[in-house]
Amino acid sequence: MTDQFAYPADREKSSADRVAALEHLLIEKGVITAATVEKVLSYFESEMTPLNGKKIVVKAWTDPDFAARVVDDTPAALAELDLPEGMAGAEGEHLQAVANVPGVHNVVICTLCSCFPWPVLGLPPYWYKDPVFRARAAREPRTVLAEVGVALPEDTEIKVWDSSGHSRWFVIPERPSGTEDLTDAELMDLVTTESMIGVALAGQPA
């Protein structure tokens, strides 16, 4: 998936170099401190990560009542779980889950810029911001999904959800068959960021 939409390696390196240079300049000018940078990075490494989304998905897979609640009233359902404080903070003000079910597959994009449910999925991948992906996924989602290995039956409805400042969408992927005896930890290993965006299916058990 990421190979299909990732920026070229030299472009990624160039972007990283610019970010590093800007960080150095801001620290040198006293606008921020190195401690501030470390605090922000630590926050995204320990608080706003895809691990939160994995917990939500596995809870939905193993608790049908929760699965219904998380789609009906996502913030209320998430409040039931042991998730980091501040889930409703930056980029998480209007979290909304949609569930893949037989005959319906959901895909999340942002046609405006790169709105993303950070508290649930962490920082958006590079390809999510790519104008080509955003435009094509909105216009021809079935073709884009097929190109990245998600070949859906012709009678499967594909719903595309456009994230914005009003709704930060994420997907509850379908639970793979043959996973009835797996532990929660083993189920979490099958959930990926891509599957919670809808550009991949949940993994299959080994």
Name the catalytic one among 115, 167, 177, 195: 115
Helix extents (H) in 63-124:
64-72, 74-78, 118-121
pLDDT tens digits, 27-57? 676 766 765 545 444 445 445 689 999 999 9
- Residue 184: both structure tokens together: 């929660």
Q: Which of 14, 15, 42, 113 is catalytic?
A: 113
Question: pLDDT per residue over 101-138, tens digit each?
Answer: 999 999 999 998 889 998 899 888 989 999 999 999 99
Rg (CA), the chain: 18
Domain 48-197 has CATH 3.90.330.10: yes
Annotated binding site: 110, 113-115
Helix/strand/coil for 23: helix
Q: Is 115 a catalytic residue?
A: yes
Pick 77 or 1 by higher pLDDT. 77
Residue 91: name the closest of 61, 60, 144, 128 by CA: 128
Q: What are the sequence ranges of the domains in the chain?
A: 48-197
Residue 162 has pLDDT above 90, yes or no: yes
pTM for the model stands at 0.79
For the question of residue 42 being annotated catalytic, the response is no
Alpha-carbon distance 206 to 50, whole Å?
Answer: 21
Give the integer Cα–Cα distance in Å for 189 and 43: 22
Catalytic position from the list 14, 15, 110, 163? 110
Place of tokens 């404080």: 85
Binding-site residues for Fe(3+): 110, 113-115
Active site residue 113: yes
Rounded to a whole number, what is the distance in angstroms from the first to the last CA of the chain? 20
Which residues touch 156 (CB under 8 Å, ≥6 apart)?
103, 104, 105
How confident is the model at residue 2, as a pLDDT? 45
**164 classed as catalytic:** no
- Pair 120, 148: CB distance under 8 Å: no
